[in-house]
């Protein structure tokens, strides 16, 4: 059961040094979730052997071009590839109008349905749920309405202690055990005691996505304990003044959030075009939070299965 | 004095095999003209060492995404690079609304002026003129409103026969000769006869851009004698049925147009994603028009200076 984050782009406003705009795909147990969709995302997906038709849910943080300008091309290519299943898109108020206007002038009637949910940028709220995950959005502090996303695996069943299972146990009794119930006979007598035959469930893994935002400790409560935290660090520490002015974060600010939220791993991204060499980003962040890495295009960051619930 | 066409992308609707969407830059005597602007154009410009700030005029043929979805990113990057000079954009009705809506939601007030001219898709008309070129648009036969463009160097001055110039000739007299006038004295007597001291001007070079369109011999009159003709050939000859149905052209249809219009060189482009190997495009076209080539990403096609007017 995979939980993999593939980075398609992690550069900020002006693409530079071959680095592309924000986009990443989270794969959870075979389901593909696209988070932000900067210009060229469909090209990046093709480059890294991704599959457009597997994406059923797209989350757009905000309407600065470097986070969504690839969306129309992606939608069009899905149409040209004869997609028929629904596509869910979650994004800021305005996204519906942007899509509608462009489909109108290209005279495109999609052969699949887009379920677009426009988000309130001030709420912490569950916006999506399917068989694998729940997704919450929460407010980030940027120049325009901007949401962060917290994507978490749903609670998993208890694990059976196989050597304790009697041969005669039925499938429905096993299902009851997995749900945490004791197995009882027709008189209500306990036959198999749950506590004796099960172990705690595997951990529900999670990704927190925070781009774009200025340093904002208020978000810690929304992302606490995430296995992966993607947090923007547009600037190095020495450019803190510019981070503040442009509603972005520095390496050390991102690392402070990671430390306070006690996440597993910090992925830094949304690098400014002013920096050619990105290695100082990692070293600066590691001064505060050791498990800091660069979100590098084409790389996949995996959270292993098998960790047990704390 | 250069006249160079640089191909940034020449694939049709779905990008494939690393081939990008339609975009090309014509460079005429230092001025850069961008024709179509598919998704990722700004990335292609960077890849091929182009310069965003040199582009002052953009021509968009139609509002299918593969021809314009890179425009907003390009406009934004010009803004972020602190552009202050005007940008002229010529494109179909609807383009103003598409740009306005997206700038509204990103809360971007550009620090330069965009002069957007929405084109009538049924007219053959001069849409642009500057010190180097005139640009005409003309109707193409596609599923939605679509314009072709004919970009031609302005008429050049007569060339002086240097060995015939007397030492005492003044700059204003030289200017008169270049304009085709005889030089006269205060009494109206001819001192220098133009016909004896000048040669015909150098040829005014031209590019015709025809994408997207079904086979339409009516366009020959708009593009006759072009040095370079970029004509779409989405399909090979064997797929003529699909070309007809989708309002596109085949190799042989493009070559027939090139032959009839007596152009210098045909560049084939807008290749369908169904073809991996493009070499049959060239060989099929060459059966009808020998000077046929593939419009290949990253390649520059030059028309030499020095040809004299026919």
pLDDT tens by residue, A137-195: 999 999 999 999 999 999 998 999 999 988 899 999 999 999 999 999 889 899 999 99
Are B44 and B33 found together in one domain? yes
Asked whether residue A306 carries a pLDDT value surpassing 70, the answer given is no
Q: Specify the pTM.
A: 0.92
Asked whether residue B309 carries a pLDDT value surpassing 80, the answer given is no
- Alpha-carbon span A127 to A138, nearest angstrom: 10
Residue A42, chain B, CB below 8 Å: the answer is: yes
Instruction: Please count the CA atoms within 13 angstroms of the CA of A189 that sit on its side-chain side.
Output: 4
Rounded to the nearest angstrom, the minimum Cα separation between B111 and chain A is: 16
Query: A193-202, B125-134, B225-234: which has the minimum mean pLDDT?
Result: A193-202
Asked whether residue B24 carries a pLDDT value surpassing 60, the answer given is yes
Structure tokens at A133: 């995950």
Distances (CA, A) of A201 to A155, A180, A204: 8, 10, 8
For residue B63, the chain A residues in CB contact (below 8 A) are: 102, 105-106
Determine the straight-line distance between the first and last CA of chain A, rounded to whole angstroms.
Answer: 19
Those of residues 224-243 in A touching chain B at CB distance below 8 A are none
Asked whether residue A309 carries a pLDDT value surpassing 80, the answer given is no
Rounded to the nearest angstrom, the minimum Cα separation between A40 and chain B is: 5
Q: How much is the average pLDDT of A98-115?
A: 97
Any domain includes B308: no
Those of residues 46-75 in B touching chain A at CB distance below 8 A are 46-47, 63-66, 69-70, 72-73
CB distance B270 to B294 below 8 Å:
no
Confidence of residue B310 (pLDDT cuts 50, 70, 90): very low
Backbone angles phi, psi at A2, to 5 degrees: -80, 150
Confidence of residue B18 (pLDDT cuts 50, 70, 90): confident
Q: What is the pLDDT of residue A307?
A: 59
Distances (CA, A) of A18 to A92, A296, B7, B42, B78: 28, 12, 18, 11, 17
Are A171 and A44 found together in one domain? no
Are A283 and A184 found together in one domain? no
Out of B63, B73, B143, whose CB is closest to A65?
Answer: B73
Rounded to the nearest angstrom, the minimum Cα separation between B92 and chain A is: 9
Number of domains in chain A: 2
- Which of A209, A201, A230 is CA-nearest to residue A151? A209
For residue B48, what is the DSSP state? T
Are B193 and B221 found together in one domain? no
Chain B residue closest in CA terms to A101: B98
Structure tokens at A26: 């989270």
Residue A249, chain B, CB below 8 Å: the answer is: no
Q: Do A15 and B42 touch (CB under 8 A)?
A: yes
Are B175 and B112 found together in one domain? no
Q: What are B181-215's pLDDT values in tens digits?
A: 999 988 989 999 999 999 999 999 999 999 999 99
Asked whether residue B256 carries a pLDDT value surpassing 70, the answer given is yes
Select the more confidently predicted residue: B156 or A13.
B156
Q: Which structural domain range is residue B183 located in?
A: 159-198
CB distance A3 to A153 below 8 Å:
yes
Last residue of a domain, one of B148, B172, B198: B198
Catalytic residues of A: 66
Q: How many CB atoms lie within 10 A of CB A18?
A: 10
Rounded to the nearest angstrom, the minimum Cα separation between B13 and chain A is: 7
For residue A242, the chain B residues in CB contact (below 8 A) are: none
CB distance B153 to B3 below 8 Å:
yes
Task: Give the CATH number, domain containing residue B42.
Answer: 3.60.15.10
Chain A residue closest in CA terms to B102: A98
Any domain includes A308: no
Over pLDDT 90: what percentage of chain B?
89
Asked whether residue A55 carries a pLDDT value surpassing 90, the answer given is yes
- Which of A288, A282, A281, A238 is CA-nearest to residue A263? A288
Q: How much is the average pLDDT of A16-23?
A: 90
Q: Do A16 and B46 touch (CB under 8 A)?
A: yes
Any domain includes B113: yes
Are A243 and A97 found together in one domain? yes
Q: How much is the average pLDDT of A15-35?
A: 93
Q: What is the pLDDT of residue A269?
A: 97
Q: What is the pLDDT of residue B260?
A: 98
Q: Do B39 and A94 touch (CB under 8 A)?
A: no
Q: How much is the average pLDDT of A274-300?
A: 96
- Which of B50, B107, B110 is CA-nearest to residue B76? B110
For residue A77, the chain B residues in CB contact (below 8 A) are: 13-15
Out of A40, A92, A106, whose CB is closest to B40?
Answer: A40
Instruction: Please count the CA atoms within 13 angstroms of the CA of B279 that sit on its side-chain side.
Output: 1
Backbone angles phi, psi at A82, to 5 degrees: 65, 35
Are A194 and A228 found together in one domain? no
Q: Do A43 and B81 touch (CB under 8 A)?
A: no
Q: Do A77 and B106 touch (CB under 8 A)?
A: no
Q: Do A63 and B105 touch (CB under 8 A)?
A: yes
- Which of A36, A38, A32 is CA-nearest to residue A20? A38
Any domain includes B307: no
Any domain includes B216: yes
Instruction: Give the CA radius of gyration of chain A.
Output: 22
Map tokens 């592309």 to a residue. A20
Q: Do B101 and A106 touch (CB under 8 A)?
A: no
Alpha helix ranges (H) inside A135-264: 171-178, 194-197, 220-223, 240-245, 251-260
Are A76 and A183 found together in one domain? no
Catalytic residues of B: 66
Out of B69, B80, B92, whose CB is closest to A14?
Answer: B80
Q: For residues B250-274, b (16+ Cβ closer than 10 Å) or e, as one string?
A: bbbbbbbbbbbbebebbbbbbbbbe
For residue B42, the chain A residues in CB contact (below 8 A) are: 15, 39
Over pLDDT 70: what percentage of chain A?
98
Confidence of residue B307 (pLDDT cuts 50, 70, 90): low
CB distance A11 to A21 below 8 Å:
yes
Chain A residue closest in CA terms to B82: A14
Q: What is the pLDDT of residue A83?
A: 97
Residue B201, chain A, CB below 8 Å: the answer is: no
For residue B18, the chain A residues in CB contact (below 8 A) are: 46-47
Q: What is the pLDDT of residue B135?
A: 98
Contacts across the A-B interface (CB distance below 8 Å): 102
Structure tokens at B196: 């004896």
How much is the mean pLDDT over chain B? 94
Any domain includes A310: no
Confidence of residue B14 (pLDDT cuts 50, 70, 90): confident
Are B184 and B218 found together in one domain? no
Are B36 and B84 found together in one domain? yes
Any domain includes B273: yes
Distances (CA, A) of A191 to A180, A199, B198: 14, 18, 112
- Alpha-carbon span A236 to A246, nearest angstrom: 14
CB distance B95 to B69 below 8 Å:
no
Q: How much is the average pLDDT of B285-291?
A: 98
Q: With H, G, I as helix, E, B as strand and everything else as coil, classify residue B256.
A: helix
How much is the mean pLDDT over chain A? 94
Chain A residue closest in CA terms to B272: A80
Are A34 and A174 found together in one domain? no
Are A145 and A266 found together in one domain? yes
Q: What are B27-45's pLDDT values in tens digits?
A: 999 999 999 999 999 999 9
Any domain includes B38: yes
Last residue of a domain, one of A198, A215, A249: A198
Q: Do B97 and A101 touch (CB under 8 A)?
A: yes
Out of A73, A105, A143, whose CB is closest to B39?
Answer: A73
Going by DSSP bridges, is the β-strand pair A31-37/A23-28 parallel, antiparallel, or unpaired? antiparallel
């Amino acid at each position: 059961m995979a939980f993999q984050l593939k980075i398609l782009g992690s550069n900020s406003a002006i693409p530079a040094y071959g680095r592309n705009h924000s986009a990443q795909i989270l794969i959870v147990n075979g389901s593909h979730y696209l988070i932000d969709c900067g210009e060229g995302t469909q090209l990046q997906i093709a480059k890294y052997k991704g599959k457009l038709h597997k994406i059923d849910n797209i989350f757009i943080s905000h309407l600065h071009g470097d986070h969504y300008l690839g969306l129309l091309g992606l939608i069009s290519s899905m149409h040209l590839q004869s997609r028929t299943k629904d596509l869910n898109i979650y994004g800021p108020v305005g996204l519906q109008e942007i899509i509608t206007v462009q489909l109108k002038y290209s005279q495109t009637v999609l052969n699949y349905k887009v379920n677009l949910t426009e988000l309130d940028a001030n709420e912490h709220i569950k916006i999506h749920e399917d068989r694998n995950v729940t997704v919450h959005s929460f407010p980030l502090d940027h120049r325009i309405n901007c949401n962060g996303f917290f994507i978490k695996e749903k609670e998993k069943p208890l694990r059976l202690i196989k050597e304790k299972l009697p041969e005669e146990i039925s499938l429905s009794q096993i299902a009851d055990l997995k749900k945490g119930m004791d197995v009882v006979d027709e008189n209500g007598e306990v036959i198999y005691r749950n506590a004796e035959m099960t172990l705690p469930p595997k951990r529900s893994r999670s990704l927190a996505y925070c781009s774009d935002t200025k340093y904002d400790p208020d978000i810690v409560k929304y992302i606490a304990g995430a296995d992966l935290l993607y947090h923007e660090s547009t600037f190095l520490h020495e450019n803190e003044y510019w981070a503040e002015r442009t509603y972005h974060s520095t390496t050390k600010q991102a690392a402070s959030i990671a430390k306070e939220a006690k996440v597993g791993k910090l992925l830094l991204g949304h690098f400014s075009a002013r920096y050619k060499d990105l290695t100082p980003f990692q070293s600066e962040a590691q001064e505060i939070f050791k498990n800091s890495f660069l979100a590098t295009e084409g790389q996949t960051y995996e959270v292993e299965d098998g960790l047990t619930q704390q």
